[in-house]
Structure 1
Amino acid sequence: MKVNNVSLTISAVSAAQYPATGYPEIVFVGRSNVGKSSLINRLIDRKSMARTSAVPGKTQTLNFYNIEDQLYFVDVPGYGYAKVSKRDRERFAGMIEEYLSTRKPFRGAVQLVDARHLPSEDDVSMYQYLKYFNVDVLVVGTKVDKTSKAKRQTIMRDIKRTLDLNQADQLIMFSATTGEGKDAVWDWLENQTGIGGSEQ
């Protein structure tokens, strides 16, 4: 999908603030600094619409990005950052659970894992959490340009095995630097949301 118009509609902390347009929504989840903002920016062909930061744990709200008045990308707080206080972690968890359990336009989740390493315990817990809510999940292995192409199949097998990936869910390797995987991610997004597949 070619994106011409995108805007940050709202940074929400509760259901009362969610947009009322009814557009389908996709949530982006992952460990702090796994590359969520970089993936979103690459998908929408922007350099800094989603705020990237060298400081883990910076995203502290549910950020709703309006894509072409057709769907929302929902960027949620990263997990697994030790310096985030227990109180903040509990607050983030409550925000995400409220969204997953109540939001009708929600169509699926993109979970990012770092392709350079095996998924962490937090990654496994998040995947299991999403499956508890019967969420369709696309797992995206980020920073794949920093891995050996000869080891690609081994990396994918290890990610699937560690997460115990459901056969209905998909794994795509992605690089924000080269753009590898971008079109495949968009194919999944369009299939999940039913939006028109205009030229990429």
Structure 2
Amino acid sequence: MAKSRVNYTQAQFITSAPDITKLPEDTGIEIAFAGRSNAGKSSSLNTLTEQKLARTSKTPGRTQLINAFALGEDQRLIDLPGYGFAKVPLEMKKKWQKSLGEYLQKRQSLKGLVVLMDIRHPLKDLDRQLIEWASGSGIPVLALLTKADKFKQGKRNSEVLKVRRELAEVSELIKVHAFSSLKGTGLNELQKQLDEWFLGPVQVKPPSENEAAPE
């Protein structure tokens, strides 16, 4: 496994906020994780950080607050409220949507958005709306197709290609990868993208005179 440039295992809980006014100061860089309530968002965060950072539940819709986790100086992971679970009361849905919308629209430190979708049911209406809005607002998007272990490799690859083609119509800059918290599939790709958002692209040094290519 390739070594990540950011140590995600050092993530520490900061706060659970009902809205952006209760979040840490809007400075530095934040990467947000968003997805439907049953997309495996908490499991993905726990796999990334190698700890039980986000609470998982058999009952979708338990993430009702904006959860912030510190990685280092002015680097944070944000776990946004899950959306789209039918059994959640309407008033609660409206409250979550309001806090999620305010965060996405007003948070200046947001530098990237990871949208998690079950690979068996990708690009539902709310997923598509979120991705289109983020892309249109200039927020880079990584679409993670979770629970990839549910498919064999051929089917998994075809689903990834299908979603890539559909999202290319929104923006060619949107990246799409399969992910499995159970198997670790896609973890390297997730870490690489987060590293780039937090630290910038890897700088490849040109060869020195002593390292000139052989003739």
Q: Same fold by TM (over 0.5)?
A: yes
TM-superposed CA distance for 1:21, in Å, is: 7.0
2:54 counterpart (36, 50, 54): 50
Question: May I ask how many residue pairs the two structures share in their alignment?
Answer: 196
Residues in 2 aligned to 1:15 and 1:79: alpha-carbon distance in whole angstroms: 17
Alignment-mate amino acid for residue 75 of structure 1: D
TM-superposed CA distance for 1:176, in Å, is: 0.4
Runs of 4+ residues deviating >6 angstroms? none
SS of equivalent residue, structure 2 residue 8: coil
Q: Is the 8 A contact 2:119 2:159 kept in 1?
A: yes
Residues in 2 aligned to 1:40 and 1:85: alpha-carbon distance in whole angstroms: 26
1:18 counterpart (20, 23, 27): 23
Residues in 2 aligned to 1:70 and 1:32: alpha-carbon distance in whole angstroms: 28
Q: Is the 8 A contact 1:118 1:162 kept in 2?
A: no
Q: Is the 8 A contact 1:70 1:195 kept in 2?
A: no
Q: Is the 8 A contact 2:135 2:170 kept in 1?
A: no
Aligned counterpart, 2:45: 40
Aligned counterpart, 1:117: 121
Residues in 1 aligned to 2:22 and 2:201: alpha-carbon distance in whole angstroms: 27
Residues in 2 aligned to 1:173 and 1:140: alpha-carbon distance in whole angstroms: 6
Residues in 1 aligned to 2:19 and 2:44: alpha-carbon distance in whole angstroms: 25
Alignment-mate amino acid for residue 137 of structure 2: F
**Is residue 151 of structure 1 aligned with residue 155 of structure 2?**
yes
TM-superposed CA distance for 1:196, in Å, is: 9.9
**Is residue 102 of structure 1 aligned with residue 106 of structure 2?**
yes
Q: How does 1:176-191 map to 2 (within 5 A)?
A: 176-191=181-196
Aligned counterpart, 1:9: 14
TM-superposed CA distance for 1:86, in Å, is: 1.8
Offset from partner CA, 1:12-43 (integer Å, 9 cap, x none): 12222111272310110111121101110111
Alignment-mate amino acid for residue 131 of structure 2: Y
SS of equivalent residue, structure 2 residue 86: coil
Alignment-mate amino acid for residue 58 of structure 1: R
SS of equivalent residue, structure 1 residue 9: strand
Q: Is the 8 A contact 1:110 1:137 kept in 2?
A: yes
TM-superposed CA distance for 1:132, in Å, is: 3.5
Q: Is the 8 A contact 1:143 1:175 kept in 2?
A: yes
Residues in 1 aligned to 2:189 and 2:170: alpha-carbon distance in whole angstroms: 18
1:89 counterpart (89, 93, 96): 93
Q: Which runs of 5+ in 1 are unaligned?
A: none
Residues in 2 aligned to 1:58 and 1:130: alpha-carbon distance in whole angstroms: 24
Flag the structure with larger Rg. 2
Structure 1-normalised TM-score? 0.89
Residues in 2 aligned to 1:15 and 1:118: alpha-carbon distance in whole angstroms: 28
Aligned counterpart, 1:174: 179
Q: Is the 8 A contact 2:83 2:97 kept in 1?
A: no
